[in-house]
Structure 1
Amino acid sequence: MWMPDVLDGFEQLTLDLEPDEEGDVVATLARRIIPGDTDAGVDLLYVHGWNDYFFQAHLADFWEGLGVRFHALDLRKYGRSIRDGQTPNYVADLGTYDEDIAAALAAIGHGTGGPRSRRLVLMGHSTGGLTLSLWASRHPGRAVGVVLNAPWLELQMREAGRRVLEPGVRAAAAINPRGPVAYYDRGLYSRAISAEYDGEWSYDSEWRSDLGRPPTPAWMAAILRGHDQVAHGLAIDAPVLVLLSARSTMPTRWTEDTRRTDTVLDVIGVARRVPNLGPVTTLVWLDGALHDVTLSAAPVREMVWRETARWFRGYVTADATRRETIDDTPPNDPWWRRAIAGVTSRRGRSRLG
C-alpha cells in the first residue's frame, strides 16, 4: 500500500524482500503523488549511491517536465529501507540487488511477464550507476536508455590499485565480512552540498551521514568484482548517457575547488571505462560539477538538464518514433533501406583513449 513519504508531495511503497541473516529485508519505492500533466509513455527508475538515499525532488521535477513518470528506489538497508539491527548499506554481492530492482519494476508495471506498453529508462548515481550498469548488461531488452550520474565504474586508484587491494579485501571478506575497513572522510563533500553548511540541499543525516559510513570487507569485495566486470566489458544494449564533472580533486581541507569538482571519484579513470559499457555511449563533461552533478550550482544544473533532455529526445523519444516507422515497413521493403534505418539509430557513440 502506498503511504505518505518524507518528501512533500511524494508517496512511498514498501517492497518486502526475502529475509537474510539479519532478519526481514525491504526496499522502498518513492513517487510523486500527483504526476505531471504530460505523459511521454516512459517510466524512469532512479537508484542512489553509497551512503545515500533519494531526496532530490528537483530531479523528479526535471524528468516529469519531459513527460516521464519518475520513481526512485531506496535499496535494502539504505535510507527509507533501513531497519533496526541491520548493517546499513551492507551487501556481499551487487547481484543481490536484482531482487530489489525486480520488485520495483513489478510495482511500476515493468515485470518480466506480459507485454509492456510503456518504455523504461534507468538512472543511477555513483554506486547505483555501477549496480544498474551490471543489471542492464544482464537483462538485455528491458530498458530503452540508461543515464549514469558519476557512476563508480573504476576504483579511485584505477586498475593497478584494484590488483593490489583485491587479494587482501577478499581474504578479509572471507574471515569477517562485516568487519572494519580503513576509512577516512573529513566531510568536505557533505559540506559542499548540505544546507547545514555551505551547500543548498536538505536531507536526513541519519540516512546520509555527513562523514560517510565505513565500508565492510564483503561490500568492498563486491564493488571490486563489479569494477572488474566493467573492465572486461559489459553488453548494455540500450543507449547510455554518462554525466561527469570535468575535474576531480581529493582535498584534505576546504577550498573553492571543493565546490566545483568531484571530490569522491577519479573522473578520468571512470571516463576510460565508459566505452566498455556497450556499443552506444555518450559522455558529457560538466565544468564545475560536484560528484552528484544534479546537486551542483544552478548554472551547472542547467547544463545537466539541457544535455540530458537532448539525449532523451534524441535516443528515447526519437528512437520510439523510428521503431514505429520501421515496424510499419512492408516486409518486401528493400533490405538496404532497413539497414540504413538501423545505422541512423546508432548515433553518438563516444570513445576515450
Structure 2
Amino acid sequence: MTTDRRTFLSGMAGLGALALVGCSPDESGSVPGASPTSKAPAPHGGPVNLRVAGTVAEGLNVPWGIAFLPDGRALVAQRDAGSIVIVDPDAEKGKRTREFGTVRGSVGRPGGEGGVLGLALDPDDESQLFVFVSTAEDERIVRFEVRDDGLGESDVVLQGIPTGQAHHGGRMAFGPDGHLYVGTGEATRRERAQDRESLGGKILRITKDGKPGKGNPFDNEVWSWGHRNVEGLAFDADDRLWACEFGESRVDELNLIKKGGNYGWPRFEGESDDPPQGESSVPAGGTPTSFVTPKVTWPVAECSPSGMAIAQSTAFVAALRGNRLWSVPLDGENVGEPTAFFVGEYGRLRTVIVAPDDSLWLTTSNTDGRGRRRDGDDRILRVVME
C-alpha cells in the first residue's frame, strides 16, 4: 500500500487533521470558513457493516496512540513499554513492526493507565511528532523529531497536566484550525474538573508551541471543562469536535464539544443539562454555569470508551470493558441508534483510527493487566466498512 502525500492528506482531512490557518472555531466547535463554499454537505450517517479483514500487526504492548506517516506506515505508542514502534502494513508478515524509539521518563505499568499515550503528527510537517506521556511528576506533551532511523531530538511543549493513579486522558488531535486539541483526566481528583485554572478534566486547545489558542474561552489552555477522563477525540466532516469519556459507575458518554462548555463532572454523570443550583454549580473563581448533556450514554459494563474515529458520517467508539466496537450514525449535531460490533470476539478494544486506505485500524488491549491475553495479543486489526 503505497500512499502519496495527496492521498494521505485527503484521508486525514476526514478526521479534521488538516490545518487551515487563520480560522478560529466558533462556539459550536466548528470552524467558520474552514471549508470551501463548494463543499457538498456531508451525507447523513446510516447503517454500516463492519468486517475484520485481517491483522496488521501483533505482539504489541498495549498499543495506544497511532499516527500515520505520508508513506502509509504508522507510528504506534506502546503504553507500558514506554516506547514507539513503526508498523509497515506492506511488509512481510513477521517483519511489519520494528522499534522506533523510547520515550524517557515515561511511567507505565500493567494494570495502570499511564505511560506513552496519544500521538499526533504535525499536519504541516511530518517530521514533528507530538507525544502525550505520563511522568512521575505530571502528564506532559513532548515534541519529537521524526528521523528515518527513529526518534530524534525532543522538547517539552506543555507540562503540568495533573497526574495520579488513574484518569490520565491522553488523546490528541489536530483541528482544522491548526491547533492541537488534548483530552485530559482529572487524575482521580474530582474537584479539578470544575476548576478552570486546572488542566485536569478538560479538553485543551493549544498552539504547536504549547501556548493557549487564540480565542480560547477562558484566556488559558482550556477549551471545555467538567470532564472526568477524555480518551477519545475526533472531528467530523463539518469540523465539529466529538469526544468520548469514561463515567464512574453508571454511564459513559459521547459528547459534542462546545467552546467553553461545562460537561458536568462531578455534579453529573451522564445527562447534565439541568440548570445550576446552589454553590456546587459555581466553579473556583467563576460564576454559576449551565451544563452540556451527552449525545449518547452507555452503561459502563457495555463501553468504557478509550478511542474514537469518524468516517462515513459515523462515529466509531472502541470499548474496553464492553469488549466491542460501537458505531453511532451522525446527522449534523444529532445522532442515531448505536450498534455494537465484534462483541467479545477480540477482548478489550483500545484505539480506532481511519487509515489512509479508508479502512479502520482497531487495537486490542489485552496485555494491559486488565484483560485476558489471546494468541497474538496485542494486535492491530484492519476493519473494512461495507
Q: Same fold (TM over 0.5)?
A: no
TM-score, with structure 2 as normaliser: 0.27
Higher strand share: 2
Larger Rg: 1
